[in-house]
Amino acid sequence: MDNSEDLAVLPAAPLPPSRCVDLNLARLSQLGMVTHDGGRTPVAEDFRIIKRPLLRNARGDRDLAPLRHGNLIIVTSALPGEGKTYCAVNLAMSIAMEMDITVLLVDADVARPSVLKVLGLSPEPGLMDILLRDKTELADVILRTNVSTLSLLPAGRANKHATELLASRSMSRLLTEIAERYADRIVIFDSPPLLMTTEASVLAAQMGQIVMVVESERTTQHDVKEALRRIEQCPNVSLIYNKSKSFAGGEYYGYYD
């Protein structure tokens, strides 16, 4: 007896269409984040310095051809708590201030997503939903913001096969689409820590540039070396030395290419 009709899988409920969310820019500025109207704060100036070589690699200049997928930039760290999400959000905000660039900020820390939380937003469908559902398109889950040049791609639902999904052909096709569809788009990925998950190194291997955040006076030299070993196949790695108190007046972000 053929029971195939009884076993038919019902279609998943459709996701809500792409929509706009409002970022509380005053709140973010009070938290020390970079914002369009936050003025020339020390943090804003630090990220102006940090973004410049990344943009040069992504777009090229007179003496340098653009890196392949150089507009795909992953921000990671060796361990949790080093400030990678803070740096990813600030970097995205700073690049969004450029005159002729749009930015997509992707929460790729799918096990412990925090980008939307930092921005004061509720969880939304996102990256994992695209990889899990054939009918979910990138445009369905991108969140436009009240910063006209900044959009967000949430992590979406958690999944125990996250590593395999991030290493899948579907993910490769998605990254190619993201990298090549809009020539003026820079994509910042907030990644899991390199020493805590396998997802981070799998994702990093598909990026054009890697930024690794290292916390001052906390992250050991051994941890930094081990984290770098896990991304040694990636030729374009830069370091941000974060939370240093070397200068009076607050934190300092040292940049090393």
pLDDT score, position 5? 42
Helix axes 42-59, 84-95, angle to 10 degrees: 70
Question: Is position 98 within any domain?
Answer: yes
Question: Is position 24 within any domain?
Answer: no
Question: Is position 112 within any domain?
Answer: yes
Tokens of 207: 């990026």
- What CATH number corresponds to the domain at position 157? 3.40.50.300
Please give the residue range of the domain that contains residue 79.
Answer: 31-256
Q: Which of 120, 193, 136, 113 is nearest to 18 (CA)?
A: 136
Model confidence over 126-168: pLDDT tens digits? 999 999 876 788 888 999 999 999 999 999 988 888 889 998 9
pLDDT score, position 38? 78
pLDDT score, position 66? 83
- Asked if the model's pLDDT at residue 13 lies above 50, the reply is no
Question: Is position 127 within any domain?
Answer: yes
Q: Rounded to whole angstroms, how far apart are CA atoms 165 and 143?
A: 22
pLDDT score, position 184? 86
- Asked if the model's pLDDT at residue 9 lies above 80, the reply is no
Model confidence over 202-212: pLDDT tens digits? 999 999 999 99
Question: Is position 194 within any domain?
Answer: yes
Greatest distance between any 2 Cα atoms in the chain: 79
Indicate the Cα dihedral angle 93, 94, 98, 103, nearest 10°.
Answer: -40
Question: Is position 23 within any domain?
Answer: no
Question: Is position 166 within any domain?
Answer: yes
Amino acid at 254: G
Q: Quote the number of domains for the chain.
A: 1
- Report the pLDDT averaged over residues 182-203: 91
Question: Is position 26 within any domain?
Answer: no
